[in-house]
Amino acid sequence: MLHPGTETDAPTTATTPAATGAAAPASTEDHGAEPCDLVTVPARQGLEAVDILRRDAELDIGPVLHDGTCDTLGFLVPPGTAEAWDVPGSACTQTAGRGLRIPAEPPVTGSGWLLPPEEDAPVTDPAVLRAALDQAARLIEAADSCR
């Protein structure tokens, strides 16, 4: 799990590592990139959102992490996003107020890159991510109601 203490159906919370008792993700290398926060979502919704974002060539999608068990995905977003994040079923983590910088290696032990950072790739715009997550939730709900 990319965000310890967050359940996949838990209400949205803007958290800091100090608030959850978790250690802040450690960056293995600072490439001089802007700091960022981490939005964590259940893998099913996150994969749908990645598909939605990748279908639109005009939308930039930043690096996306997956946890080792593929239960959650983490989208890197601009610093300060956690202060106003309110998407149900997800969480946005500030990295101890100092911002996670995009490392070459995944910053969370046991995780990997679904979409690795690129030299000039920005982080994901929170408004764009919010819209994609909302659309993904509706698609999942529709698919589940057909069973």
pLDDT at 49: 97
Q: E strands, 9-134, where?
A: 13-15, 35-42, 64-66, 72-77, 91-93, 100-101, 112-115
Residue whose C-alpha is closest to residue 15's, from 76, 113, 81, 110? 81
Q: What is the mean pLDDT of each run of 10 residues along the chain (147 residues)?
A: 39 36 39 75 97 90 89 92 93 72 72 86 91 96 88
Q: pTM score > 0.85 for this model?
A: no
Angle at 137 between CA 47 and CA 15, to 5 degrees: 80
Other Cβ atoms closer than 10 A to 47: 17
pLDDT at 86: 93
pLDDT at 57: 85
pLDDT at 115: 92
